[in-house]
């Protein structure tokens, strides 16, 4: 795009849109059920990942920044992130030591996230990578609305890849759960 000039020099680049953040956390703050970002009217891109880390209503981590870029590139006005497991951990190995890694309210929030994607016309993107347990994947896929899941890319086992290190120009593609159970 050519730079426009005015009498006083180059036309300034407009500032990035204001992004409003939200998060639904448990009372103990150990579970993050949903994370939201909204910057414009339009569809909501929903990502379903493995588990949350440090991002909250005010702070983005590298994964959330990547998902924001995808959603903006796809013409969405909002981003919502849900997870198979709501336990907050920066290392997925920490997930398996938690007494209840799923979280007592997680399935209700996963259903709500899928509903928002469907009603807004936005993509519902699976992005949990290779470490999810087969029984948990099956439980989430049985939730209403989850039959619309797409993926940006898939692992060797056919699971939706985590978005952080994927190419920036990808778009959601139809995805169906593999018929063989993945190995965690």
CB atoms within 10 A of CB 143: 16
Question: Which residues are 31's β-sheet partners?
Answer: 87
User: pLDDT for 93-135, tens place per residue?
Assistant: 899 999 999 999 999 999 999 999 999 999 999 999 999 999 9
Report the candidate in 78, 75, 88, 23 with the shortest Cα–Cα distance to residue 49: 88
Determine the Cα–Cα distance for residues 101 and 113; give it in Å rounded to an integer: 19
Q: Does residue 66 register a pLDDT over 60?
A: yes
Q: To which residue do tokens 């497991």 refer?
A: 85
- Residues 146 and 152: beta-carbon distance below 8 Å: no
Helix (H, G, I), strand (E, B) or coil at 32: strand
Where helices occur in the chain by DSSP H, the ranges are 62-73, 92-95, 106-120, 134-141
User: pLDDT for 127-174, tens place per residue?
Assistant: 999 999 999 999 999 999 999 999 999 999 999 999 999 999 999 999
The predicted pLDDT at position 1 comes to 46
The pTM assigned to this predicted structure is 0.89
């Amino acid at each position: 795009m050519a730079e426009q000039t005015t009498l006083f020099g180059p036309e300034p680049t407009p500032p990035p849109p204001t992004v409003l953040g939200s998060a639904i956390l448990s009372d103990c703050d150990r579970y993050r059920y949903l994370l939201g970002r909204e910057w414009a009217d339009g569809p909501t891109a929903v990502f379903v990942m493995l588990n949350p880390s440090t991002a909250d209503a005010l702070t983005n981590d590298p994964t959330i920044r990547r998902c924001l870029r995808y959603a903006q590139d796809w013409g969405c006005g909002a981003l919502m992130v849900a997870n198979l497991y709501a336990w907050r951990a920066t290392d997925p190995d920490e997930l398996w030591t938690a007494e209840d890694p799923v979280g007592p309210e997680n399935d209700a929030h996963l259903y709500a996230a899928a509903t928002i994607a469907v009603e807004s016309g936005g993509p519902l993107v699976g992005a949990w990578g290779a470490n999810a347990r087969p029984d948990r994947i099956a439980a989430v896929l049985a939730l209403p609305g989850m039959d619309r899941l797409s993926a940006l890319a898939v692992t060797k086992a056919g699971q939706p890849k985590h978005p952080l290190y994927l190419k920036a120009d990808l778009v959601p593609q139809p995805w169906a759960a593999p018929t063989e159970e993945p190995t965690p």
